[in-house]
Amino acid sequence: MEDGIRLNKYLASCGVASRRGADKLIEEGRVSIDGRIAHPGDIFREGMEVMVDGKGVKTQAKVVLAYYKPAGVLVSEEDPHAKETFKDMIDYPVRVTYAGRLDKDSEGLLLLTNDGDLIQAMMHGSHGHEKEYIVHLNKEPDNAVIEKLRGGVYLKELQLKTRPCRIEKLKRNVVRMVLTEGINRQIRRMWSQEGFHVRALKRVRIMSVSLGNLLPGEYSELSEKEMDSLYRQAGLKR
């Protein structure tokens, strides 16, 4: 940190907020550096005193949680119209936020962390990080439909083509899908375009982290070995 880092990145590393959230705090005049009001683009250097709403902040040990998000829970920091968000389900002493979304109707693995760099790396679609899902359909797909989706399909609604993906039929109406991108409601949109309805959708793996034996609403801290593997795949150093 010899030449310093951007203030929003420092605040994210302290678990105060995401980088975007930190930018908002700075713009609202709620952040100070060495007694003066901070400005967007300010640089933090070792030894500076940073305060948010009059309280000092400092870096925290990096933590990653594997959380089983139940269906019906919204992945959002705040939403006045939501009955329940993931924040209502997590009782953890360190502020964490999500690294990649999972839509309200879906369930399964969600990674939560206080490391803004990890969030940025995981959410960057060009990195091609794998995410694995179990998908329950309203009817059995034939081989022609599966092959079509495997090769990538053009989503008219979004005017873009999905990347090739892996699809394996597990049962008559159940398939396993492995994607390397995170388009909003991608799996539901892909199957809907072919005349199918997704009845249930569960994410069971993100990169090297699996859902394991977690039950809906439960979470667990990643082990040192799991953290090392995740950071290595994300192209980061711990």
Q: List residues with catalytic annotation.
A: 103
> How many of the other CB atoms lie within 10 Å of CB of 143?
8
| Alpha-carbon Rg for the chain in angstroms | 20
Instruction: Give me the DSSP letters along 58-114.
Output: ------EEEEEEPTT-B--S--TT-S-BHHHH---SS--EESS---TT-EEEEEEES
Q: Taking phi first (over 0 means left), then psi (-120 to 50 degrees means alpha), and beta for anything else, what does residue 96 get?
A: beta
- The residue length of the chain stands at 238
